[in-house]
Structure 1
Amino acid sequence: MENNKRFLAVLLTIALSGVLSACGNSSEESNSEPTSNSSAQEEDIETTEKEPDGSQEIEEEKPDGSSNTTQSHDKDNSVEASNDVDAIDKNESHESSKDEYLKKLNKMEEADRNSEAKTTTAEMVEQEEERYRTWDDELNKINGVLEEQLKNDQMDQLREEQRKWIQQRDETAKNSSLKYKGGSMEQLEYVAALASLTRERCYSLVAKYMK
């Protein structure tokens, strides 16, 4: 009997140890599952955090590239503008020579001759006034060129000569218009004389003073 009791006790001990072992394995498995899930979530979080950083870096590169392109265009525009200024300076310098300026005056005079003739007195007066303004503007341009070419004492002498010439021009035009005093042609003759005398003065200054 005692041997049977001992045998049963051994069997119970073996059975209990098996049950405890099985319970232990199940608890370990249950504990390991959350661990794997948490690590997967951490990976997802890391992946999510990296994506915005990557997109920000790409967006920051685009403004840099466009800025460089703008600077390149600005440089090209500044070079083109500089070339245009140089071309203008060369043309003005070339036009300031005596021969070239005389050619210009000849073209202006030819344009006067080829202009359409007006029919009414009012239209003819308006046409002559426009012709006078054109030649007077050109006379001022010629004076500007001569200021650059002549010495100070020569330019002072020319200014005094110009003041006298203007007074003489106006008197001559007035006397010429008196032939039609009181008539509709008086104003026309006065303005036409101013235009013609100013045109002659342009030729005179270029021929006498311009280099």
Structure 2
Amino acid sequence: MKKRLYMMTLILMAGLCIGCGKERKESKDLNIESRSSQVEEQSGPESRENNDIELNDKSNVDFTYDYSGDIKADVDDVVSGSASLQKELENIEKIIEKYTLLAEAAQTQGEMNISSEWFFVIWDTELNNLWGRFGNCADQQTKEKMLKEQRNWIAMKEEVTLLNLGSVEENGSIYPALQNSFLEKITKNRAYVLANELAKIKGESFVMPEKSAKYGLFVDNQGTGNVYSSLITRQGWEGNDEAIISIYRQGKKEGTFVDNGNGELTFTSDDGSIKGIIKINGWDGASFKVTETSGESVFSVGEEVKFLFAF
């Protein structure tokens, strides 16, 4: 984990040095649509190709090589060799560790961008594998419910990525790495959600990882593939806790929050026009309730918005 954090620090430093708005030639925009968008299709068996890379010899890493086949083989090995879904998800982290060693050989921003995609592909491959097994085990009603939810998740990914990161122009050549890191995170979360549902069908015990009590991205999608309202809480570049609240047909407010230590985050907008309480309920979403307004405001005291879809 420390190595991954170190790599992300290098990426951020490289982005600052290069400057915003300029793409290096070796960087490429990655398709935002996940391979898991085809949730009803299952890929056929693939054989592992021998790429002759020794993990302890970083000088041999070929960043032009397509590792997707190797990753699929690694995931298949984990699935077949794990005694439970809980153990399976834990063992996926060993694949992450394997490719972290390779990624440490990256020297340029382009290589960092390319290697950052590997970790997203690992969780995306696991998500597809889980979906294939879920489709074979679930009854029709459960399958249709989860299929609708999965399609909604896929449909919203591009918008929530933009909400969280901003545009390519705002981030410059570092954008692909930031994008892949975010997609890795939300795809991993989605894999845990689906694994939990599959565990219920199989009668296995399964413990979801603990969600942050302060940070996250939550939306109100009203049961569709569209984002109507959104709540983002995160740590800013300077270490301050910031929140972005966007309410359907009412507008957006950016500001900071203070953790009260009782499960409540006190929010104050940057313009001072609105204060409120944010409550994060882990995997069950979050809520925001207006407590004070000043001047002309489209928000009303006592108004509460719930964001029930957690990314």
Q: Which has the higher contact order (CA 8 A, sep 6+)?
A: 1
Q: Which structure has the highest strand share of the two?
A: 2
Q: Which structure has the highest helix share of the two?
A: 1
